Structure 1
Amino acid sequence: MYASTLESLANLDREIARLEQDLLALKRRRNTELPVSRLPPELLSKIFFLALRYMDVDYSKMRPQWTKMSICAVSHHWREIAFNAPELWMEIQIQANTKVQYLDLALKQVAENQAVYIDGWHVTSNGGFGARRILEAGKRWQVKRAVLNASAETIHRIFDGLDLKSEGTEALELTCLDWMGKLSCSDALAGAFPHIRRLFLMGWEVPRASELLKFSALADFTLHRISVMTPEDLQEIFLFLKLARHLTDFNLDIPSTEHHFPNGPWPTLPRLGKVKALSISSRDNQITSILLGALYLSADVERMTVVFGSHTGSTSAEVSQQAASTLNLALRHTTAPRSLLVTSTIGDDGDERGFEYIGFGAQWDGKRTLGIFMVVPGASFRDVGLSQTLYSLPFTNPEDWLLSRLESIEVVHYPSFPFWEAIAGIPTLQKISVRAWQRNDCFTRALQGDGLPDGSPQPGTTTPFPALNSIDVIFTARSLNTMFKNGYAQDLASALRTRAARGGDSIPGPGQIDTLHFYCGASELGIHEDTHTLLLSVALDVRASVSTTPANFEFCRDSDAMDTYW
């Protein structure tokens, strides 16, 4: 009886197993009939990637519930397709806690001659072993880019005696977590990556020029967060710039230095005809001035960024004026820009709150741009009742290189009156955009000619903004009061009438400008009918937009501008 019961149970188990297999077969048949199963595997793998939830911005945090939702909730069919898709293995991530099983899986899945990007973040000695193992396997792949973030000792251990010669590697990024590391493996790096075009070094001492020149094809070079800078290091940088034949992009960032740099003589470099993009950032204006004074840039440089920092917190007019003079001297060989943005941002100066930087964003066309950032002092003024601190900008002459050929300017900051006087004297300026922050502000005073002499023997010589034909006025959140907006518009109309009278022009008539455009964040502008009529007497066209910012200078706008350069 007992044996018969066991046999019956065994038969039932076999029947259940058979039915389960039949059920799986039916499910597979059903899945093959689904529209999604008829999609190409390449498309299915991309859908899988789009369904994934990635890490938080803080790389150390992973949400387990998100991982379960993103991976386990999709079908086995999708996972199988994704694991066989080359795109999944294009980027190999290595960290301090990366498991050997993951490395084995990656080594197994990457196809022969496949393009691979290797990223190693906060790699410790154990992670360094994994990074070395992946790099050595790169002999049968095409390692397009290698990024390593580790201590100097770990990076040296990774590349010491590395059996690799990757002909197709285009970029190498090495960050030293010690912030004082000496890069002593340049021979190994140049041997492993003989044709790299982009080299990014962060937190290292300045390499010797002879070490950098081993990368014979180098076109894009960045020295970021240089831990120590000496006069000898600066000489090495000059030597490298002089001898680097293919260099098109050069970026240098020096947070601070304790060394004294003599006034000279410093070498003057030959024309850097191939350099199209240049970025120099230093909290020591002396270093920036020495570099700019030595560089002989090509007239068609496309992108340039200069940050005049403030290591000691100095905001004296003398310091900012020296920065402006250096800039005028360095760029004298290039054509002055047509458009300019004046804004402000907070820089990362290592303090609890960084210094406020004034940003000058110059633009020739959509391709050529110039970003200049500097710390400037608050202005000493005698005006009573100002609701905003004004700033003394170092450009106070319409013949300054930065201002000399301007056709349009947008001022999203609060310069003192001497800057506006300089703007009013630019003979080519046709369009201006300003923030309305207070009645009888510096702009309306400059527009009506305050500070200019009266009774000139030649009519028109004292006309402020002689070529002006368009004004944009931006009402910000603190200037949305209807009474203020109408009052400011009336002040603007009065200033335009005074300006026309200075030039001997009638209003209505030749003294009118073409366009007045008001930007307001509210649902409606709130300009009264009598004010609108008054505006139409000084401008041929009066417009309003529900916006707070004209669509200009996206490359250098407010606080986002410094993110690229720090």
Structure 2
Amino acid sequence: MSSASKLQQDLDCEIAGLEQDLIVLKRRRNALSPVSQLPSELLSKIFYLGLHFIQADEKTRTEILPEYTRLSISHVDHHWRTVALESPELWSEIHVRDTTKVEYLALARNNSKMQPLYVEGYNITLTGAAGVRHILQTEPHRINGVTLHARIEVMRSLLPDLKGSCETIEFLELNGGVVQAPVDLTQHDTFFNLPKLRHLRILYWDTLLIPSTFHPPSLVKLEITFSHHPPANHIIRATFSALRTVASTLEVLLLGFDSPFSTQNVLESIGRSPIDMPSLIFLTLLSCSPGILSKLVSHFRPPSSFREVHLVARGPSASVLEYQTIASAVQRSYASTFTPDFFLVKDPSQGGRSNPDAINIGVAQQHGRKSDQINVLSTAFFPGVAAAPTFYSTDSLKTPIIPLPSSSGWLFGTLITAVLEADLPLAFWRAFSRIPTLSTIRYLVKRPDDGFLQALQGIVASVGPVEGDEKHFPSLNIVCPFFREKDITWDVEYARSLAILLGEGWAKSHVSSSSLAILEFKGCSSENLDEETACILGSVVRGVLVWNDQEWNCREPSEGDAIDIAPEDTT
């Protein structure tokens, strides 16, 4: 070896040593950063949460590749890589896409140690199904949960492999909700029993038959939604048979018929005898066909300890006639166990939905003032573009009619609080004024002559819902109007009119309690009240007046005193 080659080799060795020293120095420097001083357990938890909240930059879930995020985390620096590789829970959730490589699947399996595995195949084709199949076949005894979002034929190809893990699966979601060719509904795919199953979600797999052997003793959550085309009758019958089998353990049930069905076929499949569900906490029923929701409401019997019941009607089933039928069924089923004291009317279009006729009505019952248990029953109606014409009240305002309140009706007889987030017609407010227990009203103001003001004007003019009835809002104690539109010019004028009409209405109704404990206005465009308006408002408030979070103190005047009202000293 020449002296030059020997010198070059020595220099290479020295460079390698210096590079290694540089790596050590960089690691020591990185270790001084605040994030590197976090405990490894906390850093691992941050990584884990990062994988669950990676949907950003308006990307759809299909465009997100969790395995790339996981690998990126492990390539930041030595400390992060060590923590990532030594955190098996970080690798135990395996997300499969059509682009996922088998090498990555092997890496995830090895790094997950012996942790139970959750496998997700989202929007996959037969290419992605091969990756899911690889995990199911290589680790059949470690599979704890599976989510498949694919065409029915893709999920069908994986059924035999899923059956190989039937003794360990606790969570299973089978979602056929992707765009696909028409399905042959004369065929069926046979499901199987999963003895340890706790959560099951079957969405839009209309040919999946649940056999009579299906009886997981620990099933607590079941969601089944039919769509695309009405399934065959034997599929529906098998579904209700399975519901009867697991009814005693279910805590959460969602059952949806998300396309027009033959109502008679569904009703025949349900059977005659009701289904008792002693453990049920949350119930959601959805239908696009008239007659089905009311039948389901009468058929399922949750205990008095239920927390939430949600009924959703879409398309043709959202007609006024159907609503009345559902209301009657609700009263028959819940009158003995549920006495609502809270009432909510909400316009779902405020949440981004474009259907102007949609409406959501909810009632709730709280067991004692300090109780955490609240029972909620809500009904949402989405008429849809192709729905039959919606019937409206005689008002010019086009709001779908909801059942008018009645002091003798079960649903309204004991109401205490009402939150009205929709612009309701005059007929509603007139009937609402006769509820004897109602003490709090929070309502949306969208126009200067809304239904509440018109109802008060009628009270002052002695135009009531029943001739000779002189008592209106007899228990009213708190009134809270709120505005959502910006730059309105009539909010102060509205407030003055409201106060004047409330005072005159009480005088007309001969109600002993003639002033409010709280009068609160929110979302007002005007920042402050002028002195005259404040005095007018104070004349109907014996407690607190609030205007846009600015609190005014109102003392109850003695006879002959001038009204004393001034803004609270915020200093």
With the length of structure 2 as denominator, give the TM-score of the two structures: 0.80
1:79-478 alignment to 2 at 5 Å?
79-112=81-114, 114-141=115-142, 143-160=143-160, 164-165=164-165, 167=167, 169-176=169-176, 177=178, 178=180, 180=183, 184-187=189-192, 190=193, 193-205=194-206, 207-208=208-209, 210-211=211-212, 213-227=214-228, 228-229=230-231, 234-244=236-246, 245-261=248-264, 267-311=272-316, 315=319, 317-346=320-349, 354=355, 356-365=357-366, 367-375=374-382, 377=390, 379-381=392-394, 388-447=397-456, 449=459, 451-452=463-464, 456=468, 462-478=470-486
Per the alignment, do residues 30 and 445 of structure 1 end up closer, same or farther by CA in structure 2, a change over 3 Å counting? closer
Contact 1:124 1:150 in 2 (8 A): yes
Inter-partner Cα distance in structure 1 for 2:32 and 2:547: 54
Q: Note if contact 2:291-2:322 (Cα within 8 Å) is conserved in structure 1.
A: no
**For this pair of structures, how many residues does the alignment match?**
522
Residue number in structure 2 paired with 1:45:
44
Instruction: Rate the CA distance shift 1:447–1:333 in 2: closer, same or farther, 3 A.
Output: same
Amino acid aligned to 1:328? Q
In 1, Cα distance between equivalents of 2:276 and 2:49: 48
Q: 1:406 to 1:101 in 2, by over 3 A?
A: same
Query: Is residue 341–residue 362 contact of structure 1 (8 Å, CA) maintained in 2?
Result: yes
| TM superposition shift of 1:357 | 1.5
Closer, same or farther: CA 310–440 of 1 in aligned 2, 3 Å = same
**In the superposition, relative to structure 1, how do residues 364 and 207 fare at CA in structure 2: closer, same or farther (>3 Å)?**
farther
The aligned counterpart of 1:20 is 19
Q: Percent identity?
A: 27
1:326 CA displacement: 3.1
**Looking at both structures, which has the greater relative contact order when contacts are Cα pairs under 8 Å and sequence separation is at least 6?**
1
Q: Distance in 2 between matches of 1:442 and 1:31?
A: 65
Q: Which amino acid aligns with 1:82?
A: A
TM-aligned CA distance change 1:35 to 1:380, over 3 Å: closer
2-side partners of 1:230 and 1:68: how far apart?
Answer: 43
Q: Following TM superposition, by how much is the alpha carbon of 1:518 offset from its aligned partner in structure 2, in angstroms?
A: 1.2
Residues 81 and 493 of structure 1, relative CA distance in 2, 3 Å threshold: closer
Shift of 1:478: 5.0
Structure 2 gap segments, 5+ residues each: 367-371, 384-389, 551-571
- Match for 2:515 among 512, 516, 523? 512
CA contact (8 A) 2:405 2:435 kept: no
Q: Cα deviation per residue 1:212-267 (whole Å; 9 max; x = unaligned)?
A: 73334322111124342466555444433333231222101222125252797851
Amino acid aligned to 2:288: R
- Alpha-carbon distance in 1 for matches of 2:43, 2:351: 44
Cα deviation digits, residues 282-310 of structure 1 (max 9, x gap): 11132112212323332232111001222
RMSD: 3.7
Distance verdict in 2 for CA 1:476–1:527, change over 3 Å? farther
Q: Indicate the residue corresponding to 2:504 in structure 1.
A: 498
Give the letter for the 2:172 counterpart. Answer: L
Answer whether contact 2:486 2:525 (CA < 8 A) is retained: no
